[in-house]
Structure formats: structure tokens, C-alpha cells
Amino acid sequence: MEKNIYVFNINIVRIENMFHIMKEIYREYEEGKMVVGPTDIATRTGMAKSTAYHALKELARNGYGRYIEKKGFILNSKGLKMAKKAMRRHRLLECFIVEMLELSPEKACTEASKIDGVVGEEFMMEIEKKYGGYKKCPCGKKIP
């Protein structure tokens, strides 16, 4: 199994889910929401609210932000850096999928979400070389 650079001490939530949660936290951040609760994550990901709650608590335990009971999770600088990296991977993969497979931006986003948390670093380095200069993904969103 390939070594993953995203290290989390996880009992309940798989690493891929944590990766997707970081992306969703970043989407909320882009929309101006600084505090993200379990309901926000559950709505965006389709996971159970209790699972989202435990995932946010786990992110806080791993030093990516702070969890405030009855309010939600707030990214710190380490968490923001990781969330931006997660979103960058996703949006660069969208660029690759649209250009190479000629899928629609919406379909590319769906497909990128299936693989962005598990794609190897060597592959991502090649994607970064080819698409790293892009400012926006095919959906028109800024690439961090």
C-alpha cells in the first residue's frame, strides 16, 4: 500500500473521509463560514451527523483546528494549509479529467472526488507540473 502524506490518528473515520471533510471545511471557508459544524459536514458529505462530529473532534485532536462544543470546528493555520492542499488536489484533478477524458465539469468534479484522497504523490506531482499554473478549475472556482 502506498504511503499517504495525510497522517491522522483515527479510530472511527477512514483517512479518505478525513480528506473529504477537509475539502468540505475549505468549501465552507471559501463561502465565508469560519465555524463548521457536524450538520454542515453531514449535509455536504452524506455521512451521519455523529460521524461528522467525531471526525471534526479528531481533526482538532490532530492539531488542525479547534472544536468548540455546540458551535463547531475552526481551522487553524496548519488546518487551513492542509484544507487548501486537499482542495488544490481535487481541483487540479478536475482539470486533468476534463482535458484528458473530455467529461463535463460537473462529472469531472464527481469523479475527482472519488479519487482525490487516494491518488499517489508521484501522480499528483505530474498533475501539478501540467496543471499547476491554472488559476481556476473547470467549474470556475479558484484553485488554491
Nearest-5° Cα angle at 35, 10 to 75: 50
Q: How far apart are CA 88 and CA 128, in angstroms?
A: 9
pLDDT computed for residue 26 by the predictor: 97
Q: What is the pTM of this model?
A: 0.84
Domains and CATH numbers, the chain: 15-80 (1.10.10.10), 86-131 (1.10.60)
User: CA of 63: how far to CAs of 21, 58, 140, in Å?
Assistant: 15, 9, 31
What is d(CA 66, CA 44) in angstroms, rounded to the nearest whole number?
A: 20
Residues 6+ positions from 53 with CB-CB distance below 8 Å = 38
On whether the CB atoms of residues 87 and 94 are closer than 8 A, the answer is no
What pLDDT is recorded for position 1?
A: 44
- What pLDDT shows up at residue 11? 45
For residue 1, give the C-alpha cell.
500500500
- What string of pLDDT tens digits covers the 144 residues of the chain? 444 444 444 444 466 678 899 999 999 999 999 999 999 999 999 999 999 999 999 999 999 999 999 999 999 999 999 999 999 999 999 999 999 999 999 999 999 999 998 899 999 999 999 999 999 999 999 999
